């Protein structure tokens, strides 16, 4: 089977391509990228006026399997991913039970293959039960395909346990992804600690909690010579700590979310718990620091931290609501609207942070690229398409999003996985 994606602006950061070109797909693989390609008998997909990129990668999502399928599962989550233009997603292990042994990793991989319509990579728990007391079977999980390890949702308080993780995983060249907030400084906090939190009567989560945790883990990774990745970085000081560590040669990377790059704590509304996230939305200076870090390479990737919750869980008093909201279906629109179209970040930069860079961090040699011979994971984006976020049209089971009702400009209009079109014009095929 052949497909010819014709006439689009091809942006492939992995191969330093940004030009008008065609992409030829044969038998689920990239066969050629070039101008005026022809292929007899191929299905022609017009991309005139559109942008053609490697399938987007989200290295930080929560699909809730096993144990919390009422919030999300592989069926709904992978459809939400496809609708948002993502062809590869990595799911976090803070499930019930936690994904902390090889048998669970294998069973989830099989379920993802059977039920999912995009590629799903497994991130294993760093510690048993994510309790932070002793390492999980990280070696066994790595051997069956876990791409990274994390106790996301929990900060590993015990520095010795964290160091043991760095020492052990260095031989596997696997990265530890950490939710870095010093627990004793953030307990029960609902939003960024600032003047607004005091005005709203909400207990705050100070940026220093993140800064201390990031610094500790960087120092441990530096001592061990291991790889470390900061999940959803949100504070200006933490960005600077990562920047200086990179200059010293520490093997550290970082990600930022679309909401931390575009929203501030001024968006917090007691009547709507959608803005309750963890770490919280920060101040304007923090957002500006994140953008600067994105541009200078301090921040390597953009990840959604897609965290759907059941309707009844979020529809409660702000302080009592769980943190997180679904982000897969709105990420492209938000980033293009608030960053690209506002002149705050160039499109090729954003594409790099959502394709080549996360692929490199997770060691995905067959993703994030349009190289000849690579799997035909392709996303087509209409950067000018205006649309309104409607939770009723979400494929995810989560409906509480701070972007509901917003008009956005820019959307993925086609998602191809292994040469098969799984989403076209917003509809799953």
Q: Which residues are catalytic?
A: 305
Taking a C-beta distance cutoff of 8 angstroms, is the pair 353, 302 a contact? Answer: yes
3-state helix, strand, coil in the chain (%, to 5): 35, 25, 40
- What values do phi and psi take at 314, rounded to 5? -85, -25
Q: How far apart are CA 176 and CA 172, in angstroms?
A: 11
Which tokens go with 352?
A: 């790099």
Alpha helix positions (H), 225-346: 236-247, 258-262, 284-296, 311-314, 331-335
**Half-sphere exposure (Cβ direction) of 167: Cα atoms closer than 13 Å:** 8
What residue ranges in 194-314 does DSSP mark as E strands?
204-205, 228-230, 252-256, 301-302
CA distance 423 to 15: 25
Beta bridge partners of 274: none
Report how far residue 367's alpha carbon sits from residue 222's, in angstroms, rounded to the nearest whole number.
28
Other Cβ atoms less than 10 A from the Cβ of 385: the count is: 17
DSSP-based three-state secondary structure for 300: coil
CB 258 within 8 Å of CB 302: yes
C-alpha 370/C-alpha 361 separation (Å) is 18
Sign of CA dihedral 282, 286, 292, 293: negative
List the structure tokens of 165: 């993780």
């Amino acid at each position: 089977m052949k497909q010819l994606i014709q006439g689009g602006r091809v942006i492939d950061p992995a191969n330093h391509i940004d030009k008008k070109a065609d992409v030829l797909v044969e038998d689920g693989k990239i066969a050629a990228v070039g101008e005026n390609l022809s292929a007899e008998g191929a299905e022609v997909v017009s991309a005139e006026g559109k942008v053609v990129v490697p399938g987007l990668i989200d290295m930080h999502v929560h699909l809730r399997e096993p144990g919390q399928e009422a919030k999300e599962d592989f069926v709904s989550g992978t459809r939400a991913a496809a609708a948002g233009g993502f062809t590869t997603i990595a799911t976090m292990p803070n499930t019930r039970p936690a994904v902390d042994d090889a048998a669970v990793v294998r069973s989830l991989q099989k379920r993802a293959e059977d039920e999912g319509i995009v590629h799903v990579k497994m991130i294993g728990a760093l510690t048993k039960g994510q309790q932070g007391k002793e390492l999980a079977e990280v070696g066994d999980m790595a051997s069956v395909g876990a791409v990274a390890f994390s106790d996301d949702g929990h900060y590993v308080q015990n520095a010795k346990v964290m160091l043991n993780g760095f020492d052990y995983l260095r031989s596997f060249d696997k990265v530890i992804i950490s939710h870095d907030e010093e627990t004793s400084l953030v307990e029960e906090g609902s939003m960024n600690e600032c003047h607004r939190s005091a005005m709203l009567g909400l207990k705050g989560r100070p940026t220093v909690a993140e800064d201390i945790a990031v610094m500790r883990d960087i120092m441990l990774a530096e001592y061990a010579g291991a790889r470390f990745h900061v999940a959803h970085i949100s504070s200006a000081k933490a960005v600077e700590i990562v920047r200086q560590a990179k200059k010293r040669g520490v093997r550290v990377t970082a990600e930022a979310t679309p909401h931390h790059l575009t929203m501030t704590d001024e968006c917090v509304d007691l009547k709507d718990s959608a803005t309750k996230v963890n770490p919280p939305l920060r101040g304007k200076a923090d957002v500006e620091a994140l953008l600067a870090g994105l541009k200078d390479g301090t921040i390597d990737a953009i990840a959604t931290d897609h965290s759907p919750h059941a309707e009844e869980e979020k529809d409660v008093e702000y302080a009592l609501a769980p943190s997180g909201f679904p982000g897969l279906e709105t990420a492209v629109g938000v980033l293009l609207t608030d960053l690209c179209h506002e002149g705050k970040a160039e499109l090729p930069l954003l594409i790099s942070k959502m394709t080549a860079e996360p692929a490199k961090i997770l060691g995905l040699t067959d993703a994030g690229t349009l190289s000849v011979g690579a799997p035909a994971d392709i996303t087509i984006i209409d950067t000018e398409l205006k649309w309104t976020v409607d939770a009723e049209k979400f494929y995810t089971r989560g409906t509480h999003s701070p972007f509901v009702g917003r008009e956005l400009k820019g959307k993925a209009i086609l998602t191809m996985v292994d040469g098969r079109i799984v989403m076209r014009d917003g509809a799953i095929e």
